[in-house]
Chain A
């Protein structure tokens, strides 16, 4: 499926179930996303992880709402399943979409300015670097006699500084490799936007609407 269409579908569905309270639709959505992830060979470990974390938070939320006593079991069911839909839909999207394909699709299909598309991509590529940087900063501080905790402002000051530095270097590197904001570019690979993608988007949304319509009181 085209990455931009896929992203729009996930966002639209998530938006819609945020404002409706039909737990059957939520249940159907979470089963479908789970099946899609299994179909895409997402590893069992990752699936377990994607289930355990929301299970903890959803249970805690439902439990505290129940203690409050003013909520109906129907609402508790909606809240519980809603959290799973968010996580599973997000999981399906992130586990089955290449960041580069998404950036290219946003640039080519959604006509997003190339600056945003590649900025997003560069930020994504920076993630492991940020983790390594935090470990290095902590170790370097210890060697200077200073203990930095996760709540130390100095740690954040350093990380932000490093990120700002990287962003400057990245801008210079992009310029040096010929990138000019707003200038036309060619595409090494074209991300196809087929009729099938539009049909899939339309039909999926239609099904959700039907479900919501039937389920609403």
Chain B
């Protein structure tokens, strides 16, 4: 028995070209398949079609572990196929971990008497028994993804689909999840299809690498697979060019006894922290350790302990409107940053209030071309793919050219070519306008030589790091 796709052609309404064109593929039972390809290439669409979340076009066929998707009653679908989504927080209906697991089992008509054992086994398999009674909204992204996997384990689905599940997850949580997935495929015979742009750390795990490009899916030969994976291999992910900050460096943001809490949990112990002007600082650290919270504190979106000064003046004493133009945050979720409907309108808004002398219409056109967005100019932002939205967001924030630009996962969901384009644009603009960039990124490929300072958050403490040997 296998999972197979036959002659799948899919076109979104109001679009001329099909995202998937006469696509056929086979995934053996118990195999671990990795799906890659450029952003906007249709990976999410393909997974949604397999999961039955999008209606299957006539003439196309999807076989799930030997059974045709069309003939499968809706009530039995979840036991055949389940999906883990890119955005950790939006895949739950209920309030607590236990209630969400119960909800899924209720849907499968498992009797109340059988539930506790199944729930305990699923939580134990993923190693999150301690989270059982926690509120889902209080969990970090990595923990939420583990809960989502536990739900799938409890439902015992035969085909498990994952749409960029590690996009905002630290290496440790990702390793845990990968080990679980391998165990599910090898010991339990589950078919796993995982879509990801970032191919690092997959070498040891996957059976097949398939590339989805221009609507077609190609499964690579072992040599081609290794070549592709080598681009993301370990040596290139080390930071060999960063230095410890020089005492001469001008400080732009200074924290005194700066501490961060989330509920009752201390994320960062009170410490003095200097952030330096005209540098590109990379902040790394485990998922859920407080990196995003730190950036939100710097733009006054969350409370903190101690004081924070910008250019010597307490940021709480600065006028909100003026400060927002000096220190701005590029949010992790791209759509949070948009105020209009089309790409052109967003760019016009940034042009109106941003650095017009530098970002001339010609330069903006050139940047759009560099980001491969020229065709999308009049498109509605919310119909763009995640990666395309991220690129528009970056351009809009760069055009504002604040003194300090904070970037929360600016490379999330971008393919290799887009990452190169984004980094080169960031470097040029940072250099020309002498901006201060402070970025969080789990994705380290291509960042060596780009960032100048490396701030690591570990054990509730932020420390500048020396170069890797």
Residues of A within 8 A of B (CB): 99-100, 118, 121-122, 125, 128-129, 135-137, 139-147, 154, 158, 161-162, 165-166, 169-170, 172-180, 183-190
Known: A122-B93, A173-B92. A144 touches B339 (CB 8 A): yes
- In whole angstroms, how far apart are the Cα atoms of A144 and B155 in the complex? 45
Q: Please, which residue of chain A has its CB at the minimum distance from the CB of B397?
A: A143
- In whole angstroms, how far apart are the Cα atoms of A179 and B354 in the complex? 47
Chain A nearest CB: distance from B381 CB in Å? 10
Identify A146's interface contact among B78, B106, B151, B353, CB under 8 A: B353
Beyond A142-B320, A173-B93, A177-B103, 13 additional contacts (C-beta under 8 Å) are A100-B99, A125-B94, A143-B400, A144-B353, A145-B354, A154-B339, A169-B85, A174-B93, A177-B104, A178-B104, A185-B107, A186-B111, A190-B112
B339 lies within 8 A of A141 (CB): yes
Contacts of B111 in A (CB 8 A): 186
A136 lies within 8 A of B301 (CB): yes
Q: Please, which residue of chain B has its CB at the minimum distance from the CB of A155?
A: B339
Identify B90's interface contact among A142, A170, A180, A188, CB under 8 A: A170
Interchain residue pairs with CB less than 8 A apart (10):
A143-B329, A145-B325, A145-B349, A162-B335, A172-B85, A177-B107, A177-B151, A178-B82, A178-B104, A187-B106
B337 lies within 8 A of A140 (CB): yes
A100 lies within 8 A of B94 (CB): yes
Contacts of A145 in B (CB 8 A): 325, 349, 352-354, 400
Contacts of B51 in A (CB 8 A): 175-176
Contacts of B77 in A (CB 8 A): 178, 180
A178 lies within 8 A of B78 (CB): yes
Known: A128-B137, A145-B354. A172 touches B400 (CB 8 A): no
B339 lies within 8 A of A180 (CB): no
Contacts of A139 in B (CB 8 A): 299-301, 324, 329
Contacts of A137 in B (CB 8 A): 336
Within 8 A of A (CB), among B358-401: 382, 396-397, 400
Indicate if B186 sits at the interface (CB-CB under 8 A).
Answer: no
Identify B74's interface contact among A154, A183, A185, A186, CB under 8 A: A183
A178 lies within 8 A of B339 (CB): no
A180 lies within 8 A of B53 (CB): no
Identify A176's interface contact among B74, B91, B396, CB under 8 A: B91
Known: A121-B94, A177-B82, A177-B104. A187 touches B112 (CB 8 A): yes
Chain B nearest CB: distance from A3 CB in Å? 16
Known: A122-B93, A175-B53, A178-B108. A161 touches B382 (CB 8 A): yes
Chain B nearest CB: distance from A187 CB in Å? 6
